Amino acid sequence: MGRPVLPVALACAALSCGMLLSACGGGKAARAEIPPASQRQWATLAPADPASANSVLMRAISLVGTPYRYGGNTPQAGFDCSGLINYVYRDMLDLALPRTTRDLAAVQGPRIAPERLSPGDLVFFGSRGSVTHAGIYVGEGRFVHAPSSGGTVRLDHLDGHYWRDHYSGARRVL
């Protein structure tokens, strides 16, 4: 069998260390906070390919703190949400995915209910039937994404007020 998927607790510990180190430099990163614990009980579903999921999660989490940039698709230039997803899957698995959020949402693969998410799934957000944002699910109700102008790549909870209200589905690409 493959290696186990990176536990979210370990990922959060790594993120916390990075945030503490970034606090020394000042700026917005110094005020960043780890999201509160999720209210929902999240099932732990193993990915079909644990080794691939693990590499995707490790790379995505390593990019936390990278600046947001519309149209960005590299760590040096910054990322928008679909650029982050594209970069991680291409860099770690040599998997070419569509570049836009709308095209990512249309990728063939099963639609996933929130309680059936597995690490490495793509999660989507929007309103009125339009998908406007995406991230990479890491487990225990958390996902990595590049949220908005002026922000940085970060780890958030699906149960966060905005994300819970705008969740529009997920796709399994692994």
Specify the pLDDT at position 113: 84
pLDDT digits (tens, 9 = 90+) for 97-115: 999 999 999 887 777 888 8
- Respond yes or no: is residue 24 known to be catalytic: no
**pLDDT of the chain along its 174 residues, tens only?**
444 544 544 444 444 444 333 333 333 333 344 445 456 778 778 999 999 999 999 999 999 999 999 999 999 999 999 999 999 999 999 999 999 999 999 887 777 888 899 999 999 999 888 899 999 999 999 999 999 888 999 999 999 999 999 999 999 999
Among the listed residues 61, 115, 93, 73, the one whose alpha carbon sits nearest the alpha carbon of residue 174: 93
d(CA 168, CA 12): 25
First to last CA, the chain: 16
- Identify the active-site residue in 81, 157, 161, 166: 81
- Respond yes or no: is residue 17 known to be catalytic: no
Residues 6 or more apart in contact with residue 28 via CB below 8 angstroms:
150, 152
Among the listed residues 44, 37, 45, the one whose alpha carbon sits nearest the alpha carbon of residue 12: 37
- Respond yes or no: is residue 157 known to be catalytic: no
Burial of 137 (0-12, 13-18, 19+ CB in 10 A): buried
d(CA 9, CA 30): 21
Specify the pLDDT at position 36: 52
H helix or E strand, kind and range, residue 156 = strand 154-157
Specify the pLDDT at position 109: 73
- Identify the active-site residue in 145, 157, 161, 166: 145
- Identify the active-site residue in 17, 133, 157, 161: 133
If phi over 0 gives left and psi between -120 and 50 gives alpha, with beta otherwise, what is residue 161? alpha
